[in-house]
Amino acid sequence: MKRFITSNPFLYTVGLILVFVLWLLISFSLGQGNLVFPSPFQVFGETGRLLGDSFTYKSIGLSLLRTLEGFGISLAGALILGSLAGEIKPLQKVLKPLMIVLKSAPTAAFVFLFILLSGSSIAPIYIVTLLAFPILYESVVAGFNAVDEQLINAARLDGTPKWKRAIRIELPLALPFLILGMVNSFALSFKTEIMAEIISGDTNPGIGSYIRMFRNGDPSDLTPIFALALIAITIILLFDLASYIVKRKLSK
């Protein structure tokens, strides 16, 4: 019995129940039927209605597609630059301030910059690229730094060229670090994509654009916005579950 109570599924379930109860209490304290902070039952009903609309799935799909586009650009850049920095140690120090700036700069500020440079439809993709790149880059560099130095010395003694060592030995050994960086940053990239769609005012279908459409339609009723947020949270939780499974596999 004790083992069951302390198990992760049971504890996660208790946590979800607590969130539901807290949500219910806040909603009822503001008044039954309140549309500014709707009850979970109102939101669940609206979620069911949205899931019956094909436009919802189109919006989800296009938001995911834009996330993948930005994420793919970041991944390609991180592999190239991270591999170079992994091989050339001084380059890591040169790039360190840039990575700190990219990680600490307010994301919303870059949304407006990219809107001016590329337009509202492309800006969310660039924001995802900007957000994911330093995380993926540092994952690649960490993987290179973790490679056993004796293995590198043995390859040097065998006369293996530097570029072959990087591609055939160091990069494959750094792969688990890169995979962890990917699964850790993709959910964050998806959330950023939605935020960028809302701020940019992009009119193309997407979860962020769908949220803004409801907001502009009836600002007093936040039920559909809560419902779309619930759908997005569910998708992100699925990403987190995949991340947990991958981490378990890699740790073994």
| Residue 33 DSSP label | T
For residue 155, count CB atoms less than 10 angstroms from its CB and return exposed for 0-12, middle for 13-18, buried for 19 or more: middle
Looking at residue 70, its pLDDT comes to 92
Residue 41 and residue 204: Cα distance in Å, rounded? 30
The interaxial angle of helices 107-118 and 123-145, nearest 10 deg, is 120
Residue 40 and residue 49: Cα distance in Å, rounded? 14
CA 73 remoteness from chain centre = 14
pLDDT in tens, the chain (252 residues): 556 566 667 777 888 889 888 888 888 887 666 667 888 888 899 999 999 989 999 999 999 999 999 999 999 998 888 888 877 888 888 888 888 888 887 877 788 788 887 777 788 888 899 889 998 998 888 887 777 666 666 666 666 666 666 666 767 777 777 787 888 788 889 988 998 888 887 778 889 889 988 888 777 778 899 999 999 988 888 888 777 777 777 666
From the CB of residue 105, how many other CB atoms can be counted at a distance below 10 Å? Answer: 12
Looking at residue 49, its pLDDT comes to 92
Looking at residue 32, its pLDDT comes to 62
Q: Which residues, other chains included, contact 140 with Cβ-Cβ below 8 Å and sequence gap of 6+?
A: 78, 79, 82, 83, 85, 86, 174, 177, 178, 181
**Tally of CA atoms within 13 A in the half-sphere of 150 that contains its CB:** 0
Looking at residue 61, its pLDDT comes to 93
From the CA atom positions of the chain, what is the Rg in Å?
A: 22
Looking at residue 141, its pLDDT comes to 85
Looking at residue 200, its pLDDT comes to 80
Residue 21 and residue 219: Cα distance in Å, rounded? 26
Q: Which residues, other chains included, contact 60 with Cβ-Cβ below 8 Å and sequence gap of 6+?
A: 207, 231, 235
DSSP class per residue in 121-181: TTHHHHHHHHHHHHHHHHHHHHHHHTS-HHHHHHHHHTT--HHHIIIIIIHHHHHHHHHHH
CA torsion 188-191-192-197 (nearest 10°) is 160
What element of type H or E holds 185? helix 171-200
Residue 197 and residue 219: Cα distance in Å, rounded? 18
For residue 70, count CB atoms less than 10 angstroms from its CB and return exposed for 0-12, middle for 13-18, buried for 19 or more: buried
Looking at residue 8, its pLDDT comes to 67
